[in-house]
């Protein structure tokens, strides 16, 4: 590798205004690059070893390798005949394998994913995010990239500092990298043919109290997801302290270095790849996202109320693709002997939730009012019961009986990354069960 001379930090400032955001919605030609223009994460780790270690086996790193995503996406692609539905089912790779997409392979889900170049297999990686210079649209990966010419001429890498002087590549300050706008292009997803909003994580944040008009009070995506580290969940309901440290193995310590664990709610897949740290961090994040309360004022008539508050997530609860993530209430009334006298939201032996479970999710439709379990068929949103940031949902349960002295009413808020009902449909080796994480619980003893 050729070492580059020291260079003064450049400045790239991407400022999002209403006018620019509207302009960003305009169609732009897709970029295409030679695969050799991108630098592997291992090369980056030569200087940024701690950051690379945090990123390794994160869901960003595993976005292409995730076996649950791969098998479910391939299953949902099968049997489609409508052109628009096929187009949507094939489009996952644009965000899940972005370096491959912009370098020509894979361009669609049905391509031979085993033949993807190794650098593209690494998912959302260093030389994707740190070569981003603009956004053309805030959905379906509208990032504009400016990669270098490979390891011999790595070009400019963009980030949050204006005084970096690396000797391998050039460096530039980028306002984009300090704002939620760099996350939005992949964390908003529209149906490519029908325009249905399939995932709206960025928009949920944009419309939330976290997006304060005062920049000093605003909490961007990075303010939670890139401040978390083991023991510091960094949610909207906890402290989000600075993370003192150095960006490289050779540079001076700074007051704050953004972490690169990129933890959300997935506590299963990183563990499948041997990671212990990130599953625990995902559970810690989930346990600091919501608050639960019981209302037993109507219990004489057999009624109980459960209140769920989205106290810690800067987006809806749950977020992501709203029909695939599961957040639900499990409510049980048990006798002194532990026997369940009433139960709601308890999965069956096959892991599937009962139809009457109180669940917070999005239901997509076929355009004629009929629910569809396949995103590719989503022409409309029939309902969206997810809980917005800092808002509260109240659900009332009819127990059918009045509790007696010594009995316990317990509510739990539970999370699962995907319905077992869908996983059970996928042919071949059984998928799951995915972890069910207890986000919150509350009990009342009569």
Question: Which residue, 179, 158, 185, 174, is CA-closest to 24?
Answer: 185
Please, where are the H alpha helices in 295-426?
420-425
Give the pLDDT score at 24.
Answer: 41
Over 60: is that where the pLDDT of 4 sits?
A: no
Give the pLDDT score at 29.
Answer: 74
| Both structure tokens of 378 | 């989503």
Q: Decide: helix, strand or coil at residue 177.
A: helix
Over 80: is that where the pLDDT of 13 sits?
A: no
Over 80: is that where the pLDDT of 21 sits?
A: no
Q: What is the CA radius of gyration of the chain?
A: 23
Over 90: is that where the pLDDT of 6 sits?
A: no
Give the residue extent of every domain in the chain.
Answer: 10-284, 289-445
Contact 236, 220 (CB under 8 A): no
pLDDT of 197-245, one tens digit each?
A: 999 999 999 999 999 999 999 999 999 999 999 999 999 999 999 999 9
pLDDT of 89-120, one tens digit each?
A: 999 999 999 999 999 999 999 999 999 999 99
Give the pLDDT score at 180.
Answer: 98
Give the pLDDT score at 1.
Answer: 35
List all residues 6 or more positions away from 148 whose beta carbon is below 8 Å from its beta carbon: 37, 39, 131, 154, 155, 156, 169
267-282: average pLDDT = 97
pLDDT of 121-175, one tens digit each?
A: 999 999 999 999 999 999 999 999 999 999 999 999 999 999 999 999 999 999 9
Q: How confident is the model at residue 7 (pLDDT cuts 50, 70, 90)?
A: very low
User: Sign of the C-alpha dihedral, residues 326, 329, 333, 334?
Assistant: positive
Cis peptide before 99 (omega within 30 of 0): no
Over 70: is that where the pLDDT of 10 sits?
A: no
Q: How confident is the model at residue 28 (pLDDT cuts 50, 70, 90)?
A: low
Rounded to whole angstroms, the Cα distance separating 38 from 119 reads: 8
Q: Determine how β-strand 143-145 pairs with β-strand 132-135.
A: antiparallel
Helix (H) or strand (E) holding 69: helix 67-77
DSSP state at residue 210:
T
pLDDT of 399-421, one tens digit each?
A: 999 999 999 999 999 999 999 99
Triad 132, 202, 133: Cα angle to 5°: 10
């Amino acid at each position: 590798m050729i070492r580059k001379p020291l260079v003064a930090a450049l400045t790239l400032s991407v400022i999002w205004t209403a006018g620019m955001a509207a302009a960003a919605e305009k169609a732009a030609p897709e970029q295409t690059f030679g695969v050799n223009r991108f630098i592997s994460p291992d090369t980056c780790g030569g200087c940024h070893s701690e950051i690379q270690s945090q990123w390794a086996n994160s869901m960003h790193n595993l976005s292409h390798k995730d076996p649950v995503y791969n098998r479910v996406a391939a299953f949902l692609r099968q049997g489609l005949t409508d052109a628009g539905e096929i187009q949507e089912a094939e489009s996952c790779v644009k965000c899940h394998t972005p370096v491959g997409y912009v370098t020509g392979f894979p361009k669609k889900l049905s391509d031979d994913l085993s033949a993807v170049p190794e650098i593209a297999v690494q998912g959302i990686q260093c030389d994707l995010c740190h070569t981003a210079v603009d956004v053309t649209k805030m959905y379906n990966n509208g990032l504009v990239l400016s990669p270098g010419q490979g390891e011999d001429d790595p070009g400019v890498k963009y980030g949050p500092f204006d005084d970096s002087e690396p000797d391998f590549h050039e460096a530039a300050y980028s306002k984009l990298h300090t704002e939620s706008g760099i996350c939005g292009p992949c964390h908003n997803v529209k149906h490519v043919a029908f325009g249905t909003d399939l995932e709206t994580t960025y928009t949920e944040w944009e419309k939330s109290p976290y997006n304060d008009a005062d920049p000093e009070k605003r909490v961007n995506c990075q303010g939670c997801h890139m401040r978390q580290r083991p023991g510091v969940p960094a949610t909207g309901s906890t402290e989000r302290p600075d993370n003192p440290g150095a960006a490289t193995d050779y540079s001076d310590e700074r007051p704050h270095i953004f972490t690169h664990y990129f933890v959300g709610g997935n506590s299963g897949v990183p563990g499948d790849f041997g990671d212990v740290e990130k599953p625990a961090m995902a559970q810690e994040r989930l346990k600091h996202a919501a608050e639960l309360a019981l209302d037993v004022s109507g219990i004489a008539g057999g009624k109980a109320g459960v209140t769920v508050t989205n106290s810690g997530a800067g987006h809806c609860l749950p977020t992501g693709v709203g029909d695939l993530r599961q957040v639900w209430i499990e409510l049980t009334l048990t006798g002194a002997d532990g026997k369940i006298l009433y139960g709601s939201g308890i999965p069956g032996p096959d892991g599937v939730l009962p139809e009457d479970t109180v669940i917070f999710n999005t239901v997509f439709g076929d355009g004629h009012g009929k629910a569809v379990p396949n995103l590719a068929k989503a022409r409309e949103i029939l309902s969206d019961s997810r809980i917005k940031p800092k808002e509260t949902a109240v659900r009332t349960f009819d127990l059918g009986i009045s509790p007696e002295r010594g009995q316990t009413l317990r509510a739990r808020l539970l999370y699962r990354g995907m319905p077992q009902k869908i996983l059970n449909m996928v042919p071949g080796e059984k998928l799951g069960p995915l972890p069910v994480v207890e986000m919150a619980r509350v009990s009342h003893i009569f």
